[in-house]
Structure formats: structure tokens, C-alpha cells
Amino acid sequence: MKSYQLSLLLLSFWAMSSSLLAQKIAFVADCNASKVVLGNAFRLSFRLENAEIKKIRFPDFEAQGFQIVEGPVNESRYTNINGNRYTFEAYTFSLAPNNEGNYTIGPAEVTTYGGKVLKTMPVKIKCVAPSTSNVQSLNDHNLPPELAGKVLFRLECEHKEAVVGEQIRLNYKVYTQIDISNIELVKEPEFPKMYTKEYRFFDKDPRVEVINGQQYATKIIYSMGVFPSKNGELTIPPAEILISVGRQDPRNPFASRSLKQYPLLSLPKTIPVRSLSGQDKDYTGAVGEYEMELYLEKDEITTDEALELVMRIRGLGDIKPITAPPLHFKEGSFKILEVEQKEDIREGGQGIGGEKTFSYKIDPQEVGNLSLQASFVYFDVRDRKMLRIDSSLAIKVTQGKRILNQEVAEKAVDSSQVLSMQAALKSASWRPIPQPFFGTYRFYLLSLLPLLAFGGGYLLLLGQKKSQALKEKQALKNAPYRHAQEQLQLAKTALKTDTVGDFYRAIEEALKGYIGLQMDIPLAERSKERLQALLPEKEAQELGEILEHCEQALFAGQSPHKTMEEQLKHSQKLIKQLEKRLA
């Protein structure tokens, strides 16, 4: 029987993440290698998420050219984070190929207690011949000869070039063919006068990799991001770790193994960095993957009001240096009074990102049908080029007490220009003097008619004003609920096509818009914390959970259909509860 070497680190088997795919039923195959050396094993797991296994069928490994070294080993877990339940049950095998070549492991199949039948995707594995030569390393001179090439410490960085402000991810990985008792990071790379970020979320599972015919167990022990602040060459200095390895005393084979520590350094790396300045006059420093949203408090105002425009920029990348994007006034004249900004920085599996909000207070300088265009220009790290997002808005400005339109002012009637109402004398003739009208009963009757007409007209006007005021009051009272229903209808439309971004933006606006309009809170001040502080404890908690889920889904860009349906129901129920309390 062949002897197989299991080169696995004595590390944690699973790494849980607070995923947005909570409650989504999935059946996946997870393999810790894509290439192995003949005579070595790899690990293959089949994991069912958020359902219970009624029946499971594994591939026929032996018929496909593998020997089962160990397994199946069963593991299950249940978590509940902020109401998001996550469960999984997994079966893990250790497998070893019988020969060199390319293999495709067929799908596993599971039937859940809910009646669903799911299959995993096929898994491809390449098996190569072993090499007798050790892997050469330029940074293992601190190791004794017997450990040379058996433990490596390397920097992984996909960037061959970068632009100013780009998020460069640095992963520091250990490769080993021996058991390591402990790994300690003693020196992190330093970048003076440059923004850096230590990542908390990265792939912490041990993996298998092959280098020059030698198989290693690997693990990322440290991950960070660096954001170059100027053009030129970015030099990544070495990081240093201290590994503890057990050694046996050759003079006493029965004695316990003693630990010996060895320092290892990563090799430095240089990345050319170029500047983006001068490429577009509307560029405000954004580098990453972004989307822009615009919100208007209302699109019809009078000359006595200021226009409030909110721009939200969401995505992956460093949002701190992004300044307020420009507004272009296509039709009409406007004056920007002030711009406020807020930011919410988050970290996910792809690095840091978040949301930046700009609130523009704008004073229209003309009446009529006006329009403006908001432009957001950023460097897209996937396409490696500048992208531009333009969005136009139409605003209707009607005349208030202030006269802003010069043309209207010129047409206004001036008392000095009023023509005399006296008619010119055309002809004259003699006639008898009439009897005096003053003092007769007809005189007094006709004198009272204007007063009676004025009084009746005044009472009629008061009635119309009162009726109009009641209508306006009722319209204002219904406006928050009507706004919420319009947004929920947009969410229903987005749900039909599983458009995650549109769905959660509509849900977010339905809740924030309803409470903001009901309590007269300015658009720029409708933060989750501010709104929660104004509500009773139960409704505040429900609002926080829904908005938190919206933020996470918009950041991740994905959410299962069932979860979206549940969020829509929760939102509809919460708005009805708030309508009873607040209306």
C-alpha cells in the first residue's frame, strides 16, 4: 500500500464570515488545491448551507482514479448574527490521485428535507510528478540546511502597476512541508506618509500549492492595503516573521521535541505608480469600483426656497480623498450656497469601501423650467480607465415673493408709468340741468351695493382659502405615506427582476423618506442613528435591522431572492406600524 503524506497545517478548518448570503440555500464543493504532487493528498469538502440533509450522494472517487485517505468527516454549525441565521453541514474527504494527469471530479447530489435537489459544480485537479530538487529561496538563509526549501515566506501582490490612490492588496503567505508550532509577525512593512489599512477579512483557510514539483501547505497570515499618494515607484519593504519548529535531539530519540525559532523575511517589491491628474476636469480623486445616486427633496420650488440635492457614491476603494463632484447647470442659473459631506467606511472580503454623501444647497437664480447635470468621474480599476457617470435633473421654479428673473422685473407695472384713465373730450352739447341724484333713496341703495358685493366676495374667498388649506393640509399629511408606497412599488418591480441595487435603494428610501417627511427632518440629516433616536424602542430596533441589511446588500451587490422578499414584507409592516403611531 502506498504511503501518502498529508502536508496540512495544524490550523482552523473553517473560517466563518458574516455573509449576506444568510438564509440562502446552497450546496457547494470546496477544494483546497488545484494542483497536487503525486503521492500527496488534498482536501475536498461538500457543504450544504441553510438547509438540512435528507439524503446525500458522493461522487465515486475510486472509479475516477482517487484513493480515499480519510473521510468522510462530518461537521455542522449554526450561527445567528443580528437576526441573520446561517447553518451549514459539511462532509470532508482527503483524496490522493493514483497517477499523474488532469482529473475532473463529478458533482455530489443532496436532497433536503424541504424537497430541494441540489448538485455541486465539478472540481478539476491536476496531478504532477514529484521533483527531487529543493525549491530555491533567496530569503531562507536563517534556516538550517535540513529545512532549506521546506518553509517559505512570500509576498503575494497581483499589481504590476498602479495609479495614485489605488487600493493595492498585499498578502503575506507561509508555505510549509513541515509542522510549524507557531508563527509570529514581528515586523510589518512600513509606508511613511501613505495611507495603509490592515485587513480583517481575508481567506484564512489552509490551502495546497505546488511550486516546481514540490507540494506545500499554505496560509495567508497577514493582509493589508496600501494606497500610493504620489507617482513614481512604490517600494514594498520586507516583512518579518518568527516561526517555531520542533526539533528532535539526535542523541536521545526518546526525549521530547524542543522548539527552535527561526526568522524569515519576505522579499521587497517595486511597483510603478502613475498620476491621474489633468485627465478630466471633473475628476475628484476617486479610484475603485463605484456607482452614483442622486436624490432631490422636491423638483418643484418657488424663488423663496433653496433646492436640496443629495449625491451618494458607493463602492470599493478609498472614499476619503473624494471631493464633491461638480454640478453643471444646463438650463437656467443657479448658485451653490454650501456643500456638506458625510462618509461611512466599511471593510469586506475585497478590501475597503463604503459610501460618501454630498448634500448640495442650491439657490435658483431664475424662474421657469431649469435643469442641471451632476457628473462623477472615477478611475475604474477593472477596466483600467477613466469612467464618467452623468445624470440630469429637471427642476421647476415658480415665482415667489422674491423676483429673481430680470425679465419678470422689467415687465412688472410701475406706478409712474400708469396712463391716465380719463378719456379725451370729443364733443360738447347743451342740455337741461338734471335733477340732483345725491340724497335720494336710489343713491343710498346704489352706494351700499359695492359694500355688499365686497363682503360677499370676501366671505367666498375666505371659504375657498379654508377649503384649499384643508386640502393642502391633508395632502401634506398623506405625503409621507404616499412617498413610501411609491418607493415600495419600485422595490416590488426590482424584486421581479432580482435587481439588488434598485431593490435595496427603494427600501432604504421608503423608510428614511417616510420618517423624514413625517417628522420634517432635512434630507441630509436622515441617518440611521438619527431616525432610530426618534422612534419607540421596538420600531427603532426593526428600522436599524432593515437599514443595516440594506447597507450590507448594497455594499456586497448581491442578495438571495427569498431574503429580498422577507425584507420587503418587514418594510411594509414597519411602515404600517409607524403610520398608526406617527400619522
Q: Which three cell numbers stand for residue 281?
A: 476636469
Provide the CATH number for the domain formed by 470-582 in this structure: 1.20.120
Residue pointed to by grid coordinates 438650463: 331
- Give domain 283-398's CATH superfamily: ntegrin, alpha v. Chain A, domain 3 (2.60.40.1510)
437 secondary structure, DSSP code: -
Neighbours of 105 (CB within 10 A): 23
pLDDT of residue 463: 67
pLDDT of residue 430: 38
| The domain over range 26-128 is classified in CATH as 2.60.40.740 | yes
The amino acid at 128: V
Separation of alpha carbons 31 and 131, rounded Å: 23
Residues of the chain with CATH 2.60.40.740: 26-128
For the chain (length 583 residues), average pLDDT per consecutive 10? Answer: 35 34 76 91 92 92 93 84 75 94 94 90 92 66 80 91 93 92 91 90 88 90 92 92 78 67 91 86 91 87 89 92 88 84 86 91 87 91 92 88 57 35 36 52 67 71 65 63 89 86 89 86 80 86 88 77 87 88 71
Strands (E), 157-257: 162-163, 168-176, 182-187, 195-198, 207-211, 214-227, 232-236, 240-247
Residue 211, C-beta contacts closer than 8 angstroms, at least 6 positions apart: 135, 152, 175
Find out whether 535 and 547 touch, Cβ atoms under 8 Å.
Answer: no
- Structural element, H or E, at residue 528: helix 528-533
CATH number for 145-249+256-274 (one of 3.40.50, 1.10.10, 2.60.40, 1.10.150): it is: 2.60.40
pTM: predicted TM-score of the whole model, two decimal places = 0.62
Q: What is the pLDDT of residue 5?
A: 37
pLDDT at 311: 93
132-152 residues labelled b (16+ CB within 10 A) or e (exposed): eeebebebbeebeeebebbbb
pLDDT in tens, 231-268: 999 999 999 999 998 865 666 665 556 788 889 999 99
Q: Where in the chain is the domain with CATH 2.60.40.1510?
A: 283-398
Query: Reduced to 3 states, what is the DSSP secondary structure of residue 506?
Result: helix
